[in-house]
Amino acid sequence: DGGITQSPKYLFRKEGQNVTLSCEQNLNHDAMYWYRQDPGQGLRLIYYSQIVNDFQKGDIAEGYSVSREKKESFPLTVTSAQKNPTAFYLCASSTSGTLDVFQETQYFGPGTRLLVL
């Protein structure tokens, strides 16, 4: 089955701790994205990567870091500098394009909910 997986489903962070959220895709997509979702708000872009070994800051990158060492993987680290990390985190990837679906369409994983202890 092709798709995007995120783990864990729930993650708890202690004060001052860094935590890493996993995102893996086997769709052979070049581009991957991380979003944060808070209640009552739309998705906000944290980081994105158009190609392996390259990534760019999104609108709310402060307190987060990423890496893109493999095409399939785009882990997100929530650092202790992120003072309000409680949110639903979504990873997405972009298709290379087919007749029926435009290449700009992003496909999402199931999400990770991060909670602070």
- In whole angstroms, the minimum distance from the beta carbon of 81 to other proteins comes to 24
> Which residues would be at the binding site for other proteins (CB under 8 A)?
4, 6, 31, 37, 39-43, 45, 48, 50, 88, 90, 94, 101-111, 113
**How near is the Cβ of 58 to other proteins at its closest, in Å?**
8
**Residue 1 contacts by C-beta under 8 Å, 6 or more apart in sequence?**
none
Q: Give ∠ CA 40-88-83 in degrees, rounded to 5.
A: 90
- Return the number of the residue (81 or 101) whose C-beta is nearest other proteins: 101
Residue 115 pairs in a beta bridge with: 12
